Amino acid sequence: MARILGISGFYHDSAAALVVDGELVSAAQEERFTRIKHDSRFPSNAIRFCLSGHGMDTIDHVVFYDKPFLKFDRMLETHLTYAPNGVQRFRQSMPSWLKEKLFLKQQIRKELAKLTELTVGRLPPLLFTQHHQSHAGSAFYCSPFDSAAVLCIDGVGEWATTSAWKGSASGLEGLWQINFPHSLGLLYSAFTYFCGFEVNDGEYKLMGLAPFGEAIYADKIKESIIDIKPDGTFRLNLDYFDFCLGDKMTSSKFDDFFGASKREAEAPVRKLDMDMAASIQVVIEEVILKLAATIREETGLVNLCLAGGVALNCVANGRLRRSNIFEDVWAQPASGDAGGAIGAAYCVWHELLGNKKSATSGDLMKGCLLGPSYNSIEIKALLDELGVCYQQYPEATMYQEATRLLGEDKVVGWFQGRMEFGPRALGGRSILGDPRSPGMQRKINTNIKFRESFRPFAPAVLTQDFSAYFDTDKESPYMMFVVKLRHELRLEEDPGLNGIERVDGIRSSLPAVTHIDFSTRVQTVNESSSPTLFRLLGKFKEATGCSVLINTSFNVRGEPIVESPLDAVRCFMNTNMDALVLGEFVLKKDGQVDPDRKMLEAPALNNADEKPLNTPQTDADLKRFARSFSCMVVIVFGLILPWIFGQNFPVWPWVAGFFLLVWGEFLPGTLQRFHYLWHKLGYLLSRITSPVLLGSVYFLVLTPVAIAKRQFGSSRFRTECEADLKTYREACQSDHHMEDPF
């Protein structure tokens, strides 16, 4: 039996996944436990969950989804390309690399030892895959295909931003890649940033905004900002961007090109923003279709797998599927960095351990229901402790009660079974509503989710009925494809509505899930993918004749999806949600007594790793401090300084060192204040000297090397667009050793 723990982290969306003999047993994102959205820290809580029932001593391999030294190589190459410019970015990024990221192998092993109470020597082997290898593994090895082409598109991994792969029973073969700084993900993020949304979080907002605008800038973008070759490979005109070294995504030339400046985050959405969103969406889709056609022609394979952050652009995915370039397209539902934990684990299973990939009756993601679950005893104990009013129903009656509430135009929080993995709520941690209600979209957006009114909602529909509502016959269990509503269900929109106010228009018999272009990000539900949501949809269909519900994630703006019953009750009580169904327990907002408000307040951010300087230390910590400090006094004052200044070795440092050592061993508690003052002094000095030191290194060492390299050497960093080239592809860096983090 082989147990493999996959880990992603330290950049954004930390996560862990456990694969046992080729079966994906569990997976979870760290943000769900810490309540810090996109939490990037070591995923201690996610690992702890994945190892529940599997001790670390039973794990055969631990694998990290990224190779940090290759990423550091790319960062240095970037600075060598632009030096002496970019010193500010160098001073900002280097401390975290020098203190942490260059030593990830040691840090991961140290964190695992601390988490599992094993010595470092007893830990299983630690392996490393490349970033895009992890993406490709999460796509192909979890797919239902025995062979497929694989396309990975994201912001950037180590060097690759786009990569093409060929998957077969023997494993994954890297075909070619496009390297940083030329990135479709960063291009889309630049427009996200300019339109006033947060990078790495607001890209789906830009996608939702696109139908409100016209693609009037698409041709200008292709003429000036991105050069697209016939095979879909591309390069960016870097004059328009600032993401290589600056603090912004776009440059002043970008502002001049569009005749405006970046929209402030809470300012009204402009027509310019709508048109830019529509334009960049058209460009992205064109590139993806050309890339897909190229891979189809080169591999001859009929199936395609997608991964990487750009694969979450379900509008582009829907267009790709409708193009029929491939017979079937499967997109990894956790396409972002969190899914890299799954991909890395499967790369070990198939590529290191030599297990063959074979076709299955379905994908291996288990409906993404891979996280923690809570039983009735645990839920009831919490509700009683909180002092909230609730009713407990037998299972069948619970579904009837939820159906009744939904039929009365109520918004219902739905907390059932295992938590989802990935960015979509798929029936485990969902907010549900009646899609036939004209005001339901605005109600949920503004009164419950506290987010932009234009954001569309996804419909969850019974698989056997979805072709009666939507213009497709291909299932979409993970909300990864946008489809169109059937023509007979559409209505003529009020022509007097313009801009964002069009969101209030009634344009179909399912107005709350129909976007202004009659599109929708559908979730098809069957009994195996989401059993509790399947049963609820069946009851709702019996009562109303409609087998569709609004399904949106159980969270509010700025927070991760809820993980625990306490998270769910907090969200319910602090919003205008009408009811909450927790397992077989139903809470209604009407008639609630005043519960324990302290427990229901939003939890403080979990910054346990950032220990304050004046936090009391244990005696063991203080003893280690005394030993280190005494050695430093002896070495610096007793050996190094006399050697430099030519004096005889003085006796007092040796006496002081011995005295401090004895003091620490026998009275460690009295060193608390001294320990605090020493660390505060070191912290203040580091704030002063670190920027000066790093700036000196940048100008005195890195800049001369950069100038010499630009004059006499070559660089992997390609900055220019070249009209005479037929393709911008480069050799795929897929010849890697998992044992080697470099």
Q: Distance between terminal CA atoms of the chain?
A: 29
613 has a pLDDT exceeding 80: no
Residue 612: which pLDDT band, with cuts at 50, 70 and 90? very low
Give the strand order in the sheet containing 148-153. 328-331, 303-307, 148-153, 160-168, 171-179, 730-731
pLDDT value at 603 more than 70: no
Just give the CATH number of 145-340: 3.30.420.40
The answer, yes or no, to whether residue 735 has pLDDT greater than 60, is no
Tell me the pLDDT band of 616, cut-offs 50, 70 and 90.
low
Residue 617: pLDDT above 80? no
d(C-alpha 250, C-alpha 248), whole Å = 6
Residue 625: is its pLDDT beyond 80?
no
Model confidence at 635, pLDDT cuts 50, 70, 90, reads confident
- pLDDT single digits (tens) 213-249: 999 999 999 999 999 999 999 999 999 999 998 789 9
Q: What is the CA radius of gyration of the chain?
A: 28
- Looking at residue 668, what is its pLDDT? 82
Q: Which helix (H) or strand (E) holds 152?
A: strand 148-153
pLDDT at 33 over 80: yes
Beta-ladder partners of 18: 5, 26
* Residue range 353-370, pLDDT digits in tens: 999 998 888 899 999 999
pLDDT of res. 464: 95
Using 50, 70 and 90 to split pLDDT, how confident is the model at 734? low
Q: Residue 363, class by beta-carbon neighbours within 10 Å (0-12 exposed, 13-18 middle, 19+ buried)?
A: buried
Mean pLDDT along residues 507-532: 95
CATH topology of domain 376-600: DHBP synthase (3.90.870)
Torsion from C-alpha of 211, 212, 216, 222, nearest 10 degrees? -40
Q: Measured between alpha carbons, how far is 38 from 15 in angstroms, rounded to an integer?
A: 10
Q: Is residue 736 scored above 70 in pLDDT? A: no
C-beta separation of 431 from 464 below 8 A: no
What pLDDT score does 609 carry?
44
Percentage above 70 pLDDT, the chain: 93
Mean pLDDT across the stretch 62-81? 92
pLDDT tens, residue by residue, 298-346 = 999 999 999 999 999 999 999 999 999 999 999 999 999 999 999 999 9
CA 502 to chain centre: 31
Chain mean pLDDT for the chain: 90
pLDDT at 647: 65
Which bin fits 729, alpha (ψ -120 to 50), beta or left (φ > 0)?
Answer: beta
Task: Tell me the torsion sign for CA atoms 520, 526, 529, 531.
Answer: positive
pLDDT for position 607: 46
pLDDT at 605: 47
Q: Which two tokens stand for residue 305?
A: 């797998």
Instruction: Measure the CA–CA gap between 129 and 14, rounded to whole angstroms.
Output: 16
| Kind plus residue range of the DSSP H or E element containing 81 | helix 68-82
Long-range contacts of 591-594 (CB under 8 A, 24+ apart): 591/389, 592/388, 592/389, 593/387, 593/388, 593/389
Q: Are 405 and 568 in contact (CB under 8 A)?
A: no
Q: How far is it, in rounded angstroms, from Cα 245 to Cα 243?
A: 6
> Given a cut of 80, is residue 689 above it in pLDDT?
no
Tokens coding 469: 């509502």
